[in-house]
Amino acid sequence: MLWHHARPLGKAPMVVRPLVQIVCNLSGWATVDPEAMNSSAPAECRNLVGGRWLPSTTSRQLPDPLTGEKFLEVPHTQPDEIGPFVQSLRSVPKSGLHNPLKEPERYLLYGDVSFRVAAELRRPEVERFFMRLIQRVAPKSIAQALGEVRVTRKFFENFSGDQVRFLARGFTNPGDHLGQMSSGNRWPYGPVALITPFNFPLEIPALQLMGALYMGNKALLHVDQRVSVVAEQLLRLLHHCGAPPTDVDLLHGPGTTMADVIKAAEPRSTLFTGSQRVAEWLAVETHGKVFLEDAGFDWKILGPDVRDLDYVAWQCDQDAYACSGQKCSAQSILFAHSNWVTAGLLDRITDLATRRKLANLTVGPVLSWTTKSILDHTKRLLQIPGAKLLFGGKPLSGHSIPEVYGAVEPTAVFVPLEQALLPEHFGVVTTEVFGPFQVVTEWQDSQLPQVLDACERMSHHLTAAVVSNDINFVQHVLGNTVNGTTYVGIRARTTGAPQNHWFGPAGDPRGAGIGTPEAIRLVWSCHREIITDFGPVPPAASLVQS
């Protein structure tokens, strides 16, 4: 099978250990074998509710993204089965499972759990288990899949020991008189829900779920059915490391069933990472009780100062095409100053992009767009006056990827800036293609206002990059844009794992964050002010009715 030979570019082939050995070394918590998943022995998933692993009455057999063979059997939970999930969420008080004044020992518990999980993820066999499982359900190169596991492990390391307790740190202010003091506290919501997509099947569920648990919430987790097996194995590892099995419920199945649970259980808050369409539906259905990290049509502006051409070209290729472009932070449009075009940047990006191969999964299946839909979008762009195909625009060949998924070469379409800004073209130019695809345009000094106008007119503001060491240029662009995670400098990128910084959109009061203490406090806790007033009581003579 193709993925058995996946390796980073320029590296020797990885020696594949038999996974029978690996599973035997996982202390009994793992219930799937990534190497053995096939049509004759599909991996089987289970729902988790009330601390019990249960099947559903119907299941769905999913195709291997690379071969089309049935390799995964997932509960296809139906609306008439949601009762236990609804009851489980409704049983949680609004004050949560713990808070600063109730069972604070649980902060310490989750600090210990995080320490143990991080230690497990440092074991080579556990690290490789999750890396291979990710590759099987969301094919990406070894470097990308391994990076996801390691970012997740670093997150658990960051919140080990007392760091969970510190997340609930509040503040105090003196009162008006002796005995009075006001304190601000971080308070859980109680019953919460989180919905995460397919592209990072370990990292996004792990980081958001743990934030919910750290702050004292009970969570219902729903992950895209195509990759939810990874989240299930994560939960089994958490239980092995001491997490209470009743703190999280896991619902496999279609999104419509999860929608029914949300409508019936009315969680106090819901975190959603995924498509704009579903995000807007959730915002209405939950009466605004959501945090969203949805569409990401992400821009990169190359400033007028040209330097380190090879590095910048390499970063552009990584931002647009790593993980087959299936990152919410992927580079969607490149505004290249004419100095960079003259210096040959586009030729170097072309060379790098055409080196990507299915054999090492540096390009692979697209799970949310079909080949036809991507090529049709390419044709629509090429109908714009002056547009041209820089590279790609063809289906991948020599593969057995099922037709329900996309399989296209890394693609870039050049669109003249003045045409891209026209109202009749702007919508198609700024359509996010969740695959190995980007739009490229060129600008000159006098056109910077038009570039900034394009950034202003985009509807979602997740990530961005300003590639320049000219501080005046950088400050001008930053001062006139809004993207929530913006990288600047000659090494600026649009993609970056949130292990050491905030990641999330800006400009929307519903915007979520991930990866940092600030993000956890924002998404998974609210502010509660408590004013203590114990006296002494003033004498009766001083009490005047008003």
Which backbone phi and psi does 476 adopt, to 5 degrees?
Answer: -65, -45
**Contact present, 32 and 229 (Cβ < 8 Å):** yes
Predicted local confidence at residue 346, as pLDDT: 98
Supply the DSSP symbol for 539: P
Residue 295 pLDDT: 72
Among the options 157, 293, 409, 432, which is catalytic?
Answer: 293
pLDDT in tens, 366-404: 999 999 999 999 999 999 999 999 999 999 999 999 999
How high is the pLDDT of residue 336?
A: 98
Per residue, what are the HEC states of 286-297?
CCCCEEEECCCC
Q: Under the phi-then-psi rule, with left for phi > 0, alpha for psi from -120 to 50, and beta for the rest, what region is 126?
A: alpha
Is the pLDDT score of 247 beyond 50? Answer: yes
Name every residue whose Cβ is closer than 8 Å to that of residue 437 and which is 6 or more positions away in sequence: 320, 325, 374, 377, 378, 392, 408, 410, 411, 412, 413
Return the SS3 of 53.
strand
Mind listing the pLDDT tens digit for each residue in 10-42? 333 333 333 444 444 687 899 999 999 998 889
In this prediction, residue 522 carries a pLDDT of 97
For the beta carbon of residue 105, count every other beta carbon within 10 angstroms: 8
Predicted confidence at residue 194, as pLDDT, reads 97
Q: Is 127 a catalytic residue?
A: no
Among candidate residues 45, 241, 328, 455, the one labeled active-site is 328
SS3 of 496, please? coil
Alpha helix positions (H), 66-104: 83-90
Q: Is 293 one of the catalytic residues?
A: yes
In the predicted model, what is the mean pLDDT of residues 299-321? 98
Q: What is the Cα 481 distance to its own chain's centre?
A: 22
User: Tokens representing 310?
Assistant: 């090879």
Query: In the structure, what pLDDT confidence band is assigned to residue 445 with cuts at 50, 70 and 90?
Result: very high
Task: Return the ∠ at Cα 501 (arms to 496 and 503), rounded to 5°.
Answer: 65
Q: What is the pLDDT of residue 25?
A: 61
CB 217 within 8 A of CB 96: yes
Tens-digit pLDDT profile for residues 457-513: 999 899 999 999 999 999 999 999 999 999 999 999 999 877 789 999 999 999 999
Say if residue 538's pLDDT is above 70: yes
Q: Quote the pLDDT of residue 10.
A: 33
173, 119 in Cβ contact below 8 A?
no
Cα 304-306-310 angle, rounded to 5 deg: 140
Percent of the chain at pLDDT above 90? 90
Q: Which residue has the tokens 């194995």?
A: 233
347: pLDDT strictly greater than 90? yes
Per-residue confidence band for 3, with pLDDT thresholds at 50, 70 and 90: very low
| C-alpha angle 447-450-452 in degrees, rounded to nearest 5 | 110
Alpha-carbon distances of 443 from 55, 255, 449, rounded to whole Å: 56, 42, 10
Q: What sign for the dihedral angle of Cα 263, 137, 370, 203? A: positive
Single-letter amino acid code for the residue at 508: D
Tell me: pLDDT of 4 over 60: no
Average pLDDT value for the chain: 94
- Tell me the Cα Rg of the chain: 25
Rounded to whole angstroms, the Cα distance separating 197 from 327 reads 10
DSSP-based helix, strand, coil % in the chain, nearest 5: 40, 20, 40
In the numeric block, the tokens 């993925």 are attached to 3
Q: Which amino acid is present at 215?
A: M
Distance between the two ends of the chain, CA-based, in angstroms? 83
- Closest to 482 (Cα-Cα) out of 447, 503, 517, 458: 458
Q: What is the pLDDT of residue 276?
A: 86
Query: Smallest Cα–Cα separation from 193: which of 109, 280, 118, 255?
Result: 255
What are the φ and ψ backbone dihedral angles of 300, each rounded to 5 degrees?
Answer: -135, 130
Instruction: Judge whether residue 142 has pLDDT over 90.
Output: yes
> E-assigned strands of 344-403?
388-391
Nearest to 23 by CA among 7, 10, 38, 37: 37
Contact between 467 and 300 under an 8 Å Cβ cutoff? The reply is yes
